[in-house]
Chain A
Amino acid sequence: MSEVLIHAENLGKQLGGRWALRKLDLSVRAGEVVGIIGANGAGKSTLLKTLSGLLHPDEGSYRINGRMASLLEVGTGFHPDLSGRENAYLRGALLGITRSEIQQILPAAAAFAGITDRLDEPVKYYSSGMQVRLGFALSAHLPAEILLVDEVLAVGDAAFQAKSLNFMESHWKAEGRSIVYVAHQLHTVRRICDRVLWLEGGMLRMEGPADQVCYAYLERTTAQPIAWHLGEDRAGLGGIRAQQLDIDGDWTTGNPASVRVVWNGAAHGTADVRLSVARSDGSPLTLWSSLQSGLDKPAAAGSATVRIPELALSQGAYTLHLRLFVDGILHDEVRDAAVVHVGPGRWKGREYPTPRPMALQDQFWI
């Protein structure tokens, strides 16, 4: 077995008179990628902050064996008047890394971020995307055995996110560096983590292989068969806003289902109500769009209903993302507007067993 790089025993931390973290045992070996999942306030960030030395534990102990870089913040903290190079030295110093060590990694990091030719320009002339990319690239190339990562992969555009994820797999894991990775995007956890800890209320609820824990987590968080929730955190222009979802039908494979969307507000033009069906980890499977189906609904109408005669989804949990467009302009976006559990049913007259939630397709084989 490889060397243990992080060993925590009975770790506990009280914040504001409440136990934000309690009775946590954690052991991370060299080359292992450990994911931490859980709802907001479950203690994920408290754990990382404690391990990085920002918070002192109120209970228990931990031992860090090796150099640790904590990437709690990637895209910010650069000084605008200094060049990318000078900022890199400064960032290194904060983690106890010398100028010469930074000089060694800088060419590779700059190339990864795609800013090699602009490394000596003041950072204020960089685009915000370039700053974020440089921040991640620097952190990713740091000479450390242990990386504490808090949601850094949620930076940059989709292409850069994919590149970063690949880099974590191909370099960090391959070089035997340990990673403790906190994320809300379950599909990245499942992709890169060997082992996952699920925290709830500051305590460990479950620990095990990534797929197993993520699945249990989803089951738990989406326990009700159908639930909808239109949160406050909305994107879009806001001329019209969704108010209500009426979810009807069987929601079993191959049987009818319907969703009625009710909105309020005033806008002129043609509404396009889009419901994107995704797995619970956020990866999209299919789209239901009123405009694409030929419905010419004025934005002032206030409601639209989609009827699915034969639900082409296998058994499992799905989330619906709702977006309202008027003449092609996004007015409202509700991520995770609803969670539905599709029950077992027959698809085109047959049982259709699949290991995980999937979109089914009318098909002919010859």
Chain B
Amino acid sequence: MSDVREVHASDPWWKLDQDSARVGRRIAVAFARRDIQLRYVQTRLGWLWALVQPLALIAGLTLVLGRVFGLPDEGLRQFGLNLAAALPGWIWFQYIVSQGAPSLVHNQALVVKSAFPRTALPNAKALVGLVDFAVASLVVGTGLVLLDAASPWALIRLPIIGVFTAVSGLGWAYLIAAISVRRRDVLSVLPVALQVLFFVSPVALPSANFDLNNWGIIYWLNPAVAIADGFRWAWLDWSVWQPAHALSLASGGVIFGVGLFSLRYQSRRISEFL
């Protein structure tokens, strides 16, 4: 074996350990595997939950919100398609942020004793979310094919918008995780913030239905806008894109960069402060 690690005090903080990417990947996979193994321990339905959950959520939200909005049958179908296409992607994004951000603090004992790449823990959560997302997408895809609503483009477009979902979710997860090393407050605010984000994101209704008034720019800075609308574009081949979506897409990319660098910057200090 020829692993050589050379560290100088003067190394810049963004310098990467040469084999940390490989180690990080292994850790992410191992931790994702652990989470998935543990999830259905001591449950009766076991793996069936992975199918039941997205189905129940889509059916429940369609019926409840459809009733609230007082939609006719045709409107209900339209509403249901909108929701079914966007929901798995939103759930994945929300899972990455809500589970990935506190993963350093939750695994504190491990983090302060072991010098693995810190992005591995949020990445593991993204992988777990990916499994859920894949199962939910299978359910949704089957439904859309049966309803004759699925676009053949989905096979190409889903991976594109899927990568964007993971990237922007991880960006936020990295950033909040980096802040949480010094200030745990962010973790208390997080569930509320995500709840609010659900209502200001076009998950149930596409962006075209939103009356934005003066809030436009803030609305479009939310990467979940591009995620939800993007999955409609992917599944249903609807022409959802407006010029302002570029802002949403860009914000996802920027937050990934900011998050990645924040976490790497904080990595050197983690075992001092956590």
A and B bind: yes
- Nearest B residue (CB) for A72: B113
User: CB-defined interface of A54-72 with B at 8 Å, one 1/0 digit per residue?
Assistant: 1111111111111110101
User: Is A58 touching B23 in the complex (CB atoms < 8 A)?
Assistant: no
Q: Which residues of A contact B31 (CB under 8 A)?
A: 90, 93
User: Is B113 touching A63 in the complex (CB atoms < 8 A)?
Assistant: no
Q: Which residues of A contact B113 (CB under 8 A)?
A: 54, 70, 72-73, 77
Nearest CB in chain B: distance from A269 CB, A: 43
Complex-state Cα separation, A21 to B105, whole angstroms: 27
User: Is B30 touching A89 in the complex (CB atoms < 8 A)?
Assistant: yes
User: Which chain B residues in 94-116 approach chain A with CB under 8 Å?
Assistant: 109-110, 112-116
User: Is A82 touching B34 in the complex (CB atoms < 8 A)?
Assistant: yes
Q: Which residues of B contact A98 (CB under 8 A)?
A: 26
User: Is B4 touching A79 in the complex (CB atoms < 8 A)?
Assistant: no
User: Is A96 touching B23 in the complex (CB atoms < 8 A)?
Assistant: yes
Nearest CB in chain B: distance from A263 CB, A: 39
User: Which chain B residues in 133-178 approach chain A with CB under 8 Å?
Assistant: none
- Nearest B residue (CB) for A94: B114
Kindly name the residue among B11, B31, B110 whose own CB sees the greatest number of chain A CB atoms within 10 A. B110
User: Which chain B residues in 228-260 approach chain A with CB under 8 Å?
Assistant: none
Complex-state Cα separation, A216 to B113, whole angstroms: 32
Query: How many chain A residues touch the partner (CB < 8 A)?
Result: 38
User: Which chain B residues in 1-25 approach chain A with CB under 8 Å?
Assistant: 1, 3-9, 11, 13, 17, 19, 22-23
Nearest CB in chain B: distance from A128 CB, A: 16
Assess A55 versus B3: contact at CB under 8 Å? Given A12-B9, A77-B113, A90-B30: no
Q: Which residues of A contact B13 (CB under 8 A)?
A: 56
Query: How many chain B residues touch the partner (CB < 8 A)?
Result: 33
Q: Which residues of A contact B114 (CB under 8 A)?
A: 52, 54, 70, 72, 94-95
Q: Which residues of A contact B271 (CB under 8 A)?
A: 49, 54-55
Assess A61 versus B112: contact at CB under 8 Å? Given A79-B34, A93-B30: no
Complex-state Cα separation, A15 to B273, whole angstroms: 10
The DSSP consensus for interface residues of chain B is: mixed
Q: Which residues of A contact B37 (CB under 8 A)?
A: 82, 86
Complex-state Cα separation, A241 to B266, whole angstroms: 47
User: Is A66 touching B272 in the complex (CB atoms < 8 A)?
Assistant: no
Task: Indicate whether A145 reaches chain B with its CB closer than 8 angstroms.
Answer: yes
Q: Which residues of A contact B3 (CB under 8 A)?
A: 64-67
Q: Which residues of B contact A2 (CB under 8 A)?
A: none
- Nearest B residue (CB) for A83: B37
User: Is B9 touching A58 in the complex (CB atoms < 8 A)?
Assistant: yes
Assess A63 versus B27: contact at CB under 8 Å? Given A82-B34, A82-B37: no
14 of the cross-chain contacts (CB-CB < 8 Å) are A52-B114, A52-B115, A53-B115, A54-B112, A54-B114, A56-B268, A68-B5, A70-B115, A81-B38, A86-B34, A86-B37, A93-B31, A96-B19, A96-B27
The residues of A with any CB-CB pair to B shorter than 8 Å are: 12, 15, 49, 52-68, 70, 72-73, 76-77, 79, 81-82, 86, 89-90, 92-96, 98, 145
Q: Which 8 A-B pairs have the closest CB atoms?
A: A93-B30, A53-B115, A96-B23, A61-B8, A56-B268, A64-B5, A54-B271, A63-B6
